[in-house]
Structure 1
Amino acid sequence: MIRRALFRSKYGDLVLFSILALCWGTSFVAIEIGLEYVPPLLFAGLRYGVAGLIVLGYAAVVTDRFRPIDRAEWLSVGVAGIFLIAIYHALLYLGELYVSGAIAATVASTAPILTAAFAGAVLPREQLSLAGVVGLVLGLLGVVAVVRPSPTGLETELLLGAGLVFGAAIAFAVGTVLTRPLDAGLPLETLQAWAMLIGAAVLLVGAPLRGERLAAIDVTSTALLSFTYLTLVSSVFAFLLYFQLLDRAGPTQVALVGYAEPAVAIGVSWVLLGYVVDSLTILGLLTILAGFAAIKRRHLARVVDTLFEEESDQRPSVGSRLPQEPSEARTDGGTPQEADAVGAERSAD
């Protein structure tokens, strides 16, 4: 019998999960549309510059520290800003010059798998098990199914775009793992805001080096709508929602949003742009999801187990029963933060 309180919260979490997946899944399509009018690095830099200022204002209101104060804290936000905002979004936006938002979302969904693989390579306590290695292989096979390398012109362009997005996923993995030992104790909202601002600065410096100019921006109603949506909905509103869902459901459940995003992107691409993905792309996405399930199998099993446990007054709440793990950075510009519990059990996933 499902506990009544859990039953009520489960559907509340499901609503938050669905809204978050919608906000972030549609962002890939909004980027694709906006790139018709705005150069990629300028587009990403301006988006996160504005979003960072808004989130910083929010952090100043709801937290006790709205800026880093020592070297460790500046190092933490610097690594997050450079890898998770600047490099990730530079490669993502450049990649979407060649592939659709639906394809980009599918390839980017390998990021949590690559994070686990990179963590296993450099952090002794997180070495991949055999099932983890299988998960990594499945993730890579999923990308191959999406890209389908071919010498013809169209497939070569697809390969270039997918390669850039896959590079973005690698940057995500590296940035996520590098920030784990740098837990500076900053509130997540403050860390997020400064990472956005630092990442935006790097992107805006890089834009002219690539030859991008403000004069190249074609200011149309579509461009303004895309920019406003990405800034206010996908970057500000969605991250405030993410903070709440992370507190309620925990990092493993929230990580599953990344696998709903491609489905949303595929549906929105079809509705707005008439773009239809083929069966191999769907197969690739399912293969990537299977890879994630293999790597996170134990935490996922605990989540399912908890949902259907019998009611007992002596049992703790859902969030407290699940062993904590570091929350993953978001592939839409989020930053990781270690779980609050001191000495929390680490899984062997």
Structure 2
Amino acid sequence: MTLLRSVPDGYREAVLFSILALCWGSSFVAIEIGLEYVPPLLFAGARYAIAGAIVFGYAAVASDRLRPVGRAEWAAVAIAGVFVIALYHGLLYLGELYVSGAVAATIVSTAPILTAAFASVLLPEERLAPAGVAGFVLGLVGVIAVVQPTSVGLESNIAVGAVLVFGSAVAFALGGVLVRPLDSALPIETLQAWAMLIGAGVLLGWSILRGESVASVELTREMLLSFGYLTLVSGAFAFFLYFELLERTGATQVVLVSYAEPVVAMGVSWVTLGYLVDSLTLVGLLTILAGFVVIKRTALRSLLRSALEGHSTATS
């Protein structure tokens, strides 16, 4: 990417990681702000219709194929569109009607743990070891610490929102696992573009079934800024960064962005809305992170070793 040419080689991945975490972490707060003026599913669907068109244009330039071929590739884009885009964002936006963006980001950070759990059930070669089961339990304990069911009550709006957001993390994780066995050579840019457009269609159809109307949209400055930021920055631009980081570092480091996102969301919530999370939410985030570390300890150890070796080579 041309914007990274002025950054020393040894720091480019860190810069990409930081910018991506900022884009995606702040999106939870932008959603929270935008939901004051736009129905949730219409909001999400319109965002991904535009972002998907932009990414499709990028795929036309950056990849050698613009159309899935064969049953496996069409299945891959359909699963990604329905689960990773439509169900994930639909449930997330609905959940953020009741919980803050910072809390939502913390709950969503369970997605990598849930991915490992689903993979252990659906993909025999990825069975969780006893330590992995312990990591999964830690993740669930972290969610409970964030929601604090004894203080909010299981029938409260906060509990409803937390369940919806957790459902979004489940959908994201399940979609990611269901795609893995499919024999697809579709370029990642093309797959993401099709997934966004399919997901946008599902979201807009869901919006109609829910009775949402364009007439209920309030065209305020805050709404336009939120929608523009989510579509262009957290949507299209962030996915370009994602493609670049994925190519440079691989999937493990990209997954770690999930644990930087809640920290960014907490900071942005404080700066823009004056919202401070309580200590139990922080404990919950650290517990979720600990669960991920336990599950992915081998991959993280290899990542740390390669990072240290790369740093020593660059400084020698």
Assess, with a 3 A threshold, how the Cα gap between structure 1 residues 121 and 310 changes in structure 2: closer, same or farther: closer
Q: Counterparts of 1:263-342 in structure 2 under 5 Å?
A: 263-309=263-309
Q: Does 1:33 align with 2:33?
A: yes
Q: Does 1:244 align with 2:244?
A: yes
Contact 1:149 1:155 in 2 (8 A): no
In the alignment, which residue of structure 1 is the partner of 2:79? Answer: 79
Which stretch of structure 1 is more off in the superposition, 285-294 or 69-78? Answer: 69-78
| Unaligned runs of at least 5 residues, structure 2 | 1-6
In the alignment, which residue of structure 1 is the partner of 2:113? Answer: 113
Assess, with a 3 A threshold, how the Cα gap between structure 1 residues 252 and 198 changes in structure 2: closer, same or farther: same
In the alignment, which residue of structure 2 is the partner of 1:101? Answer: 101
Which stretch of structure 1 is more off in the superposition, 243-252 or 149-158? Answer: 149-158
Task: State the distance in 1 between where 2:261 and 2:214 align.
Answer: 31
Q: Counterparts of 1:134-153 in structure 2 under 5 Å?
A: 134-150=134-150
Shift of 1:71: 2.3
Assess, with a 3 A threshold, how the Cα gap between structure 1 residues 301 and 151 changes in structure 2: closer, same or farther: closer
Assess, with a 3 A threshold, how the Cα gap between structure 1 residues 120 and 242 changes in structure 2: closer, same or farther: same
Which stretch of structure 1 is more off in the superposition, 300-309 or 156-165? Answer: 300-309
In the alignment, which residue of structure 2 is the partner of 1:51? Answer: 51
Which stretch of structure 1 is more off in the superposition, 65-74 or 246-255? Answer: 65-74
Report the AA paired with residue 223 of structure 1.
M
Shift of 1:307: 2.4
Task: State the distance in 1 between where 2:51 and 2:151 align.
Answer: 41
Q: Deviations over 1:286-325 (max 9, x none)?
A: 0000000001100111111122338999xxx9xxxxxxxx
What RMSD, in angstroms, separates the aligned Cα atoms of the two structures?
1.9
Contact 1:149 1:156 in 2 (8 A): no
Shift of 1:158: 1.2
Contact 1:56 1:194 in 2 (8 A): yes
Contact 1:44 1:200 in 2 (8 A): yes
In the alignment, which residue of structure 1 is the partner of 2:164? Answer: 164
> What SS class does the counterpart of residue 128 from structure 2 fall into?
coil
Task: State the distance in 1 between where 2:171 and 2:13 align.
Answer: 29
Task: State the distance in 2 between where 1:197 and 1:181 align.
Answer: 22
Shift of 1:8: 4.9
Which stretch of structure 1 is more off in the superposition, 69-78 or 156-165? Answer: 69-78
> What SS class does the counterpart of residue 24 from structure 2 fall into?
helix
Report the AA paired with residue 96 of structure 1.
E
Shift of 1:151: 6.6
Task: State the distance in 2 between where 1:266 and 1:10 align.
Answer: 28
Task: State the distance in 2 between where 1:234 and 1:310 align.
Answer: 30
In the alignment, which residue of structure 2 is the partner of 1:336? Answer: none
Task: State the distance in 2 between where 1:284 and 1:277 align.
Answer: 11
In the alignment, which residue of structure 2 is the partner of 1:344? Answer: none
Assess, with a 3 A threshold, how the Cα gap between structure 1 residues 247 and 310 changes in structure 2: closer, same or farther: closer
Percent sequence identity is 66
> What SS class does the counterpart of residue 219 from structure 1 fall into?
coil
In the alignment, which residue of structure 2 is the partner of 1:132? Answer: 132
Q: How many residues align?
A: 308
Q: Deviations over 1:185-233 (max 9, x none)?
A: 1100000000000000000011011110110111111111101100000
In the alignment, which residue of structure 2 is the partner of 1:335? Answer: none
* Greater fraction of residues in helix: 2
Task: State the distance in 2 between where 1:155 and 1:285 align.
Answer: 23
Task: State the distance in 2 between where 1:11 and 1:61 align.
Answer: 27
> What SS class does the counterpart of residue 97 from structure 1 fall into?
coil
Task: State the distance in 1 between where 2:311 and 2:211 align.
Answer: 62
Assess, with a 3 A threshold, how the Cα gap between structure 1 residues 222 and 301 changes in structure 2: closer, same or farther: same
Assess, with a 3 A threshold, how the Cα gap between structure 1 residues 310 and 10 changes in structure 2: closer, same or farther: closer
Shift of 1:23: 0.2
Q: Which has the higher contact order (CA 8 A, sep 6+)?
A: 2
Contact 1:110 1:169 in 2 (8 A): yes
